[in-house]
A and B are shown apart, each in its own frame.
Chain A
Amino acid sequence: MTQQKKNSILSLFASVQLALSLLFLLAATSIIGTLIPQNNPPDFYIERYGFKTAQLLRILDIPDMYNSWWFLGLLSLFALNLTVCSLERIPQVIRTLRRDGLTVPPAQLAKFPLHRELRLAHAMEAATTRVEALFTTLGWRARTANLEQGRLLFAERGGWTRFGVYVVHCSILIILAGALVGSSTVARIIGNPKFAFKGSIMLPEGESTNHLIAFKSGEHIDLDFHLRCDAFAIEYYPNGMPKTYRSKVTVIDKGQPVHSADIEVNQPLTYKGVTFYQSSYQPYQNYQVSLKKQGSTAATSAIVATAKQTDWPEAGVSYGIINRESQGEATRRLKIWFTDNQGEPSVFWVNNNQEAIIERPSGTYLLTLRQLYATGLQATKDPGVWLVYLGCLLMLVGLYIAFFLSHRKLYAFIQPDADGCRILFAGEANKNKVGFEDKFSELINTLEK
C-alpha cells in the first residue's frame, strides 16, 4: 500500500464528516427495530409481513437487528472513527498546552479580541507588584519575562480541561468494551459459557437448584452452589394492585447454608458474581398444610392436591380439599372436608393462608392451607458491568469538563513611559468567552480604582 493510500484511509477515519454520517446512520437505522418487533419466532414475521418480506427481513437480520452483523459493524466503525480521530488530535492538544505564553510577541497582544490598555502612575517595579498581586487574588500564578520594551506577565488556568472531550470519547469506548465483555458472544468465543450469561430459573418453594437455563440458547448453565427457595409471597395493596413479590432464598455452598436473603423486584441478590432478580412466579395447584391439635403438641404438615383424602393417623383425622375459588391461578378460598371419624364431617370454606379453627368431638384443630408457588428468578453474570458503569461516570465527568470548564490565559505587558507606565492586558478563553470577558473587565476595573 502506498503512503498516500494509507493516509487517505487514515484521514477518512480521522474525519468528523464520517462521524456525522455514522451518528446519522445509527440514529436512522435504530428506528427500524422500534417499528418491527424484535426477537419473535420466525412464524410471527411470516404471519405479519408475508413470506417474501419475512425472508428479506431474515436475510438482513432485522428480527434481531441490534445484534446483527451490520449494526454491530456500524458500531465498530463508530468506535474506530472515535479512536483514530481522538488519537490524531491529542498530540495537537499537548502541543497547544506546551506553547509558552511568554513567547507571544507583545505586539500581537493588541490584536487579541479581548484586550485593554490602561495607564498607571507607578514606576515599573511598583506596577509589576500590583499586577502580580491582582493575578494572585484570582488564584493565578504569573510568570514574568523581561523583554526589551518592557515586562511580560503571563498566567493560565484550566489547560487540562482541553482533555475533557477526550474523556468523553474514551468513556464511550469503555462502555462499548464493557458491553462486549458482558456479552454471551464473547463468553462463547473464549469457550467458557460461565464467564458471562443471562438466564432464568423456575424454582418451586422448598426446592433447590444448581443450574439455570440460558436465554436464547436454552442451554443449561451450572452454578458452583445451590440456591433454595424457602418461600415465595405476594403482597397486595388494598385496591388489589400487587405491592411486593418476595422470594426468601438460601444459598447453599458446599452443602452448607451460607446466606439467606429476601429477593424482591429492585432488590436482587448477588453471590459469587451471579445476581438473582425477581422476575416472575408460577402458582401451583398444591397446598402446604399445617395442622395442630389445640392443647397438645401434636402437629403435622403435608403437601396436598385437591380432591384427595389425606390422613393423619396419629390423631385419627382425615381431610381433603373438595372445592376452591381462584382468581387466575391464584387461589383465594378453599372448601375443606374434615373428619375425626366421630359424628358428621365438618365442611367449610377457608381463605388461602388463613388459620381455620375446627371444633370437633375429639378436640379443637387449627388448620392452615397455603398455596405453593414457584418463583421465577432471572440470573445474570456480567463481568463487564463495572466497565460500563465506569464509562458512564467518566462520560458525565467528561461532559461537565468539556462543556463548562475552559482553558483561560491572561497576559499583561508593562511598559515604562513618561510619568509611570502603560499596561496592555490581553486574555483568551477557549470556551465560555462571555463569562471570561466579564471577569477580565472586572479585574482591570479594580486596578484602575
Chain B
Amino acid sequence: MDSSQLFGVTMIAYIVAAAFYIGLFLFKNERVGVFGMALAMAGVGIQTAATGLRWYESYQMGAGHAPLTNMYESLVFFAWCTTIIYLVLEFRFKTRVMGAFVMPCAAVAMAYASFSDRIDDQISPLIPALQSNWLIAHVVTCFIGYGAFAVAGGLGVMYLLKQSASNANDRQPLLNALPELKVIDDQTHKTIVFGFMWLSAGIITGAVWANEAWGTYWSWDPKETWSIITWFLYALTLHARFTRGWRGRRIAWLAILGFLAVFFTYFGVNFFLSGLHSYGSV
C-alpha cells in the first residue's frame, strides 16, 4: 500500500463523515452522528499514517522532506487540521451537529486535492529556496490557523441559519437541533482567538524564513499582503467584540468574511496574482 492510496481512503472517510454529519443535522438521528464522528476520527488516523508514509517515501526517492511543500500537500494538511480542530471542539462542547457545517469543508479540500488536474500530487524534490526548517514551522502554524478559521466560518454560517429561523419565529424543528445562539457565538469567538494566535505565528515564521533566505523579512508580495489583510480583519473582529461589544450576527458575518480572506490568501493569490509564493502554484 502506498501513501496515495491511503490518502484516497482518507478522502472517502471525510466525504462519508460529512454526509453522516449532514444526515445527523437533517434527521436528528444520534446514531448517524456517532458514525460520522467515528469516520472523521478514522480519517484523521489514516491520514496521519499516510503522511508518515509519504514522508518515508520521499526519503526512499532521495528527495527527503516533510510532506508540506506544495499545493497538494498543503491542501491535504489543511483538511487534517480542520478535522482535528473540529473534533476537539466537538469533544469539548459536546455538540455534534456542528460537523454538518465543518466536515464538508475538509471533504471538499481533500477531494479537490485528489481530483483537480491543476494539482500535482507527485512527490518532488525541494528547490533550494524551500530547503529550510522554517518552511515546516511556517506551513504548520499557518495551516493550524487556517483550519481554525475554517471551523469559525462554518460556525458563522450555522449561527446565521439558526438566527434566521428564530427570527422567522417558525419553530423549525430542523434548526432546533442546533446549539443555542449564545453557545455558537461563544465558540466562534474562541475558535477565532485560537486561529489568530496561530496566524500570527504563521506570519512571523514566514517573515523569519524570508529573512533567512532573501534578507528581507517583509517585501509586500501579494501572498504576504493578503495574509496581513486577513490578520487585520481578524484583529478588527476581536476588537469589535471585546471593546465595542459586538456579538452574534455581526461576528458571524465577520467570521465568514475572515474565512473568505483566508481562502483568497491561500488560493486566490496563487491563481490570480503572482509573487514569491509560486511554489504554491501548480
Separation in Å of the A103 CB from the closest CB of chain B? 27
Which residues of A in the span 238-255 have a Cβ within 8 Å of any Cβ on B? 238-239, 241-245
Does the CB pair A34–B269 fall under 8 Å? Answer: yes
Q: Does B136 contact A (CB under 8 A)?
A: no
Complex partner residue of B216 from A16, A33, A380, A392, CB under 8 angstroms = A380
CA distance A379 to B216 in the complex (A): 10
Q: Does A2 contact B (CB under 8 A)?
A: no
Q: Does B30 contact A (CB under 8 A)?
A: no
CA distance A409 to B3 in the complex (A): 52
Does the CB pair A392–B229 fall under 8 Å? Answer: no
Complex partner residue of A268 from B128, B201, B208, B212, CB under 8 angstroms = B212
Q: Does A90 contact B (CB under 8 A)?
A: no
Does the CB pair B193–A403 fall under 8 Å? Answer: yes
CA distance A245 to B193 in the complex (A): 41
Does the CB pair B132–A400 fall under 8 Å? Answer: no
Q: Does A187 contact B (CB under 8 A)?
A: no
Cβ-closest chain A residue relative to B223: A34
Q: Does B207 contact A (CB under 8 A)?
A: yes
Separation in Å of the A448 CB from the closest CB of chain B? 26
Complex partner residue of B63 from A66, A179, A237, A379, CB under 8 angstroms = A237
Does the CB pair B218–A245 fall under 8 Å? Answer: no
- Interface readout for A266-282 with B: 1 if CB under 8 Å, 0 if not? 10100000010111000
Does the CB pair A277–B197 fall under 8 Å? Answer: no
Contacts of B196 on A, CB cut-off 8 Å?
A: 399, 403
Does the CB pair A33–B200 fall under 8 Å? Answer: no
CA distance A277 to B131 in the complex (A): 14
Contacts of B273 on A, CB cut-off 8 Å?
A: 34-35
Binds B, one of A23-31, A40-48, A352-360: A23-31
Separation in Å of the A63 CB from the closest CB of chain B? 12
Q: Does A315 contact B (CB under 8 A)?
A: no
Q: Does B233 contact A (CB under 8 A)?
A: yes
Does the CB pair B125–A237 fall under 8 Å? Answer: yes
Contacts of A23 on B, CB cut-off 8 Å?
A: 232-233, 235-236, 239
Separation in Å of the B57 CB from the closest CB of chain A? 16
Does the CB pair A30–B228 fall under 8 Å? Answer: yes
Q: Does B217 contact A (CB under 8 A)?
A: yes
Q: Does B279 contact A (CB under 8 A)?
A: no
Does the CB pair A385–B125 fall under 8 Å? Answer: no
Does the CB pair B213–A277 fall under 8 Å? Answer: yes
Which residues of B in the span 236-259 have a Cβ within 8 Å of any Cβ on A? 236, 239-240, 243-244
CA distance A385 to B204 in the complex (A): 12
Q: Does A38 contact B (CB under 8 A)?
A: yes
CA distance A19 to B269 in the complex (A): 27
Which residues of A in the span 373-395 have a Cβ within 8 Å of any Cβ on B? 378-380, 382, 385, 388-389, 392, 395
Does the CB pair A20–B236 fall under 8 Å? Answer: yes
Cβ-closest chain B residue relative to A235: B128
Does the CB pair B207–A392 fall under 8 Å? Answer: yes
- Interface readout for A11-24 with B: 1 if CB under 8 Å, 0 if not? 00000110110011
CA distance A33 to B273 in the complex (A): 11
Given contacts A242-B127, A399-B196, contact A179 B218 (CB under 8 A): yes
Q: Does A151 contact B (CB under 8 A)?
A: no
Given contacts A16-B244, A277-B214, A380-B215, contact A24 B128 (CB under 8 A): no
Given contacts A20-B244, A245-B128, A266-B131, contact A66 B239 (CB under 8 A): no
> Most chain-B Cβ atoms within 10 A of its Cβ — which of A198, A242, A265, A382?
A265
Complex partner residue of A34 from B200, B201, B226, CB under 8 angstroms = B226
Q: Does B225 contact A (CB under 8 A)?
A: yes
Complex partner residue of B204 from A26, A243, A244, A392, CB under 8 angstroms = A392
Contacts of A238 on B, CB cut-off 8 Å?
A: 62
Cβ-closest chain A residue relative to B240: A20
Separation in Å of the A336 CB from the closest CB of chain B? 32
Does the CB pair B233–A27 fall under 8 Å? Answer: yes
Separation in Å of the B74 CB from the closest CB of chain A? 19
Does the CB pair B218–A400 fall under 8 Å? Answer: no
Q: Does A264 contact B (CB under 8 A)?
A: yes
Which residues of B in the span 168-222 have a Cβ within 8 Å of any Cβ on A? 193-194, 196-197, 200-201, 204, 207-208, 211-218, 220, 222
Does the CB pair B128–A388 fall under 8 Å? Answer: no
Does the CB pair A30–B132 fall under 8 Å? Answer: no
Given contacts A34-B222, A237-B63, A395-B204, contact A20 B239 (CB under 8 A): yes
> Most chain-A Cβ atoms within 10 A of its Cβ — which of B131, B193, B213?
B213
Does the CB pair A403–B197 fall under 8 Å? Answer: yes
CA distance A179 to B232 in the complex (A): 18
Does the CB pair A266–B127 fall under 8 Å? Answer: no
Q: Does A396 contact B (CB under 8 A)?
A: yes
Separation in Å of the A114 CB from the closest CB of chain B? 17
Q: Does B163 contact A (CB under 8 A)?
A: no
CA distance A30 to B220 in the complex (A): 9
Q: Does B124 contact A (CB under 8 A)?
A: yes
Contacts of B208 on A, CB cut-off 8 Å?
A: 389, 392
Which residues of B in the span 75-134 have a Cβ within 8 Å of any Cβ on A? 124-125, 127-129, 131-132
Does the CB pair A279–B128 fall under 8 Å? Answer: no
CA distance A198 to B243 in the complex (A): 41
Cβ-closest chain B residue relative to A66: B220
CA distance A382 to B214 in the complex (A): 12
CA distance A245 to B134 in the complex (A): 19
Does the CB pair A385–B124 fall under 8 Å? Answer: no
Does the CB pair B216–A34 fall under 8 Å? Answer: no
Does the CB pair A399–B200 fall under 8 Å? Answer: yes
Contacts of A380 on B, CB cut-off 8 Å?
A: 215-216
- Interface readout for B31-73 with A: 1 if CB under 8 Å, 0 if not? 0000000000000000000000000000000110000000000
Contacts of B127 on A, CB cut-off 8 Å?
A: 241-242
Complex partner residue of A242 from B63, B128, B132, CB under 8 angstroms = B128
Cβ-closest chain B residue relative to A400: B197
Cβ-closest chain A residue relative to B193: A403
Separation in Å of the A278 CB from the closest CB of chain B? 8
A34-B226, A395-B200 are known; give 15 further A-B pairs, CB within 8 A: A16-B244, A23-B236, A34-B225, A198-B215, A243-B125, A245-B128, A265-B128, A268-B215, A275-B215, A279-B214, A382-B215, A392-B204, A395-B204, A396-B201, A403-B194
Q: Please name the 4 residue pairs, one residue from A and one from B, whose CB atoms are nearest each other, closest first.
A: A380-B215, A265-B128, A27-B232, A34-B222
11 chain-A/chain-B pairs, Cβ below 8 angstroms: A24-B232, A33-B225, A35-B273, A237-B62, A243-B125, A277-B213, A278-B128, A392-B208, A395-B200, A396-B197, A400-B197
Q: Which residues of B contact A (CB under 8 A)?
A: 62-63, 124-125, 127-129, 131-132, 193-194, 196-197, 200-201, 204, 207-208, 211-218, 220, 222, 225-226, 228-229, 232-233, 235-236, 239-240, 243-244, 269, 273-274
